[in-house]
Structure 1
């Protein structure tokens, strides 16, 4: 007669019966519950943390790409020597034929758009208040191609009226107490040149549009101005400071660096969004790995409770083990019975942890809103974090990693007490019974 196959139905029945300890074996039951709760909380924390980290990174990248160029092409400054005085002047590099160069760049494979831009720093004043701002001179069509800027859910005014004034960030509007239709005064340090030197240029413009890019630093410092108006204001007649380039795959933006340099010509340089934010993203990736390791240790500690519970269970079930062995159960069958006892705890705890982790991740924004209400905004400060909310993004890979880690640790820690039960001598187990 052939022996039963491994993990037969009776092995599952015995293991499940042992997990349902009687009142007299309350210690085993308590240890089982501690193990189960510990694993569930560890998996919940791991899934929720990974979801928040993924959501934070996705939101950060989205706000960067939604209001900034994927690559920026600019000309290096030139050194000009005055033959009469032997003085050397540094002339900022600018594009003279910016329309032609932008069209050539836009024709490169994978490039979706190229926009000439005039940039300059100003002092913005209104209602007796002032703020430092950075002006972007850009065409109306290029402005409307920025999804974060023209989002109707976070903006005020009509972006179609952009050419009649300027568009300012929500942070500037708040600090200067401005609304659509009000006037803002811009003061540029490099203005008209006179016999007495360079005088600051002061102009007032109507606020035609107020936007929110989703990033605190952009909303607080950025002003968009029609390109022709910016050229006149910053003395850039017939030229542009840089050309903003947008590609179809921003994650692979470095692949376009060499083609952009060849197309822009001698003296051109390229600055990508990864150059600007790459160090921060690298820090986020490193923190993800560190947080995964730390929370993995918590899951391991919770899994170790399974070992304690199984050791107590083996000790309490010594008589049963002896009887089962004399009835013909093999060492492998006994090992599998107690392995299943620990595996059941790990599986149930993991399932509960996954459900709680998903529930927590889906409601993290509501939870943070409640904490902000309790702490008067101290739980999440946009000026420190850069973005206005704490998002969460559940990814199948992160859930799989958490489940695989929990089950692997739960299965491994059950091997030692299960082997101890399998190697128990039935004669010694029944000697004093």
Structure 2
């Protein structure tokens, strides 16, 4: 019996396919079908492209943070001596570093001297941040070991200093030039404090891809930094890297226990967490906004189905009198609408994935077309537009599009199913 046919039987698919292939006199239905399909494809494409860029931006931002900065800094809790001098440095740092290295999950520990000074060369000045570490420790920094751009050799650091490309550009120096480093915390004398100055040869210039590092960072050997900053036998902190930076909070307690009493920590999440929270908030907002775009695109399916139901009213009446159930009619029109949504979503997924994969040549063309200067690393902190295609983002976009397509399709399909065959054929 036709009324008890298996749901989504072959004849239901056949009828739906014939309805989607509108004849010339029903061209309006065909046009709405194409508009709906293209709209959904573009909306899904925009959603996947945006999510991939946002994911890539976060990954690249975190990678540049973690590639040239400590995951956690171990510092001395300030205390006053009997003479009233406030101590903020770590003594016995080699033993402390060896103890922290034994903590499971720790991959690198580097005793570090850190200071803010003035660099001068060629009549130009720049405020810089000097980090003093052993040459072996500097070589183990991920982004210093493999920078985006480098000049000279880090192996020659015993003979000079390494500076970021931003520092080099501001001072107008190249490898082999000399830079004067000036610290206001110098020698105490009868006339007050005399700034401490030293001149160093630039032996290495690096670009790690994060503007605020390339713009201010200077590296020098630990022993020289201790001499220049009056840190004989002590360091300012222990720079610690771990296997999983996202779980740094779980490692802080054992790291501090190994470093000894009187120490405290400052993690990368504390220093850069505000940027990450801002990115996550922007991700959520962009997903909501683009979800509305997908909803608007899927609503075109409703318009097309309403036109289709109106044009096929006579056919629906004939099919009902032949024995088709309301469920069969509903499924026929549901297949029409959901088929448009499925095809549009598939095209959108393909376009979005292709955009994420080939974003470099696409963005290069756009940058060339607009005359360059589209991407400002001083604002975004990284050198180029990143994209990371994640399966979860593709699934979220596809699920949203298909879910909305199925929901908006149901109501005009139900209207067609409830159509009275007598009323449908009364004026035919």
Query: Could you report, residue by residue, the CA deviation over 1:16-64 in whole angstroms, capped at 9, with x for unpaired residues?
Result: 1101111111111111111111101110000000000000000000000
Pick one of 397, 403, 408 that aligns with 1:402: 397
Worse overlay, 71-80 or 265-274? 71-80
Partner of residue 194, structure 1? 189
Q: How do residues 126-205 of structure 1 correspond to structure 2 at under 5 angstroms?
A: 126-151=121-146, 153-205=148-200
> Alignment RMSD, CA only?
1.4
Partners in 1 of 2:404 and 2:214 — Cα distance? 47
| Cα shift at 1:77 | 2.3
- Indicate the residue corresponding to 2:322 in structure 1: 327
Name which of 425, 428, 431 aligns with 2:426: 431
Please list the CA deviations of residues 58-105 of structure 1 after superposition, one character each: whole Å capped at 9, or x if unmatched: 0000000100111000012223565xxxxx55x241111011111111
Match of 1:184, SS?
strand
Q: Kindly indicate whether the alpha-carbon contact (under 8 Å) linking 1:368 and 1:380 is maintained by their aligned counterparts in 2.
A: no
> In the alignment, what sits opposite 2:42?
41
**In 2: Cα distance, 1:14 partner to 1:342 partner:** 13
| Aligned equivalents of 1:7, 1:343: Cα separation in 2 | 13
Question: Is 1:51–1:393's contact at 8 Å kept on the other side of the alignment?
Answer: yes
**Shift in Å at residue 366 of structure 1?**
2.7
Please give the alpha-carbon distance, in whole angstroms, between the structure 1 residues aligned to 2:212 and 2:370: 23
**Paired residue total:** 427
Match of 1:64 in 2: 65
Task: Note the residue ranges of structure 2 that are not aligned, 5 or more in a row.
Answer: none
Indicate if the aligned counterparts of 2:75 and 2:264 stay in contact, CA closer than 8 A: yes
Instruction: Report the Cα offset of residue 4 of structure 1.
Output: 2.4
Kept in 1, the 8 Å contact 2:180–2:199? The answer is yes
**Distance across 2 between alignment mates of 1:46 and 1:340:** 25
Task: Look up the match of 1:85.
Answer: none
- Supply the distance in 2 between the matched residues of 1:185 and 1:142 (Cα, whole angstroms): 24
TM-score, normalised via structure 2 length: 0.97
Contact 1:96 1:240 in 2 (8 A): yes
**Aligned residue for 2:74?**
73
Q: Which residue of 1 aligns with 2:202?
A: 207
- Deviations for 1:241-271, whole angstroms, at most 9, x for unmatched residues? 0001111111101111111222222321100
CA separation in 1, counterparts of 2:416 and 2:395?
Answer: 32
1:96-111 equivalences under 5 Å are: 96-111=91-106
**CA displacement at 1:198 relative to structure 2:** 1.6
> Any stretches of 5+ residues in structure 1 without a counterpart?
83-87
SS at match of 1:192: strand
C-alpha separation in 2, matches of 1:175 and 1:369: 27
Deviations 1:116-171 (A, max 9, x none): 00011111111111110000000111111112112165211111111111110011
TM, length-normalised to structure 1 = 0.96
- Superposition pairs for residues 408-419 of structure 1, below 5 Å? 408-419=403-414
Deviates more, 1:59-68 or 1:174-183: 174-183
Q: Does 1:314 align with 2:309?
A: yes
In structure 2, the CA distance between the partners of 1:59 and 1:152, relative to structure 1 (3 Å rule), is closer
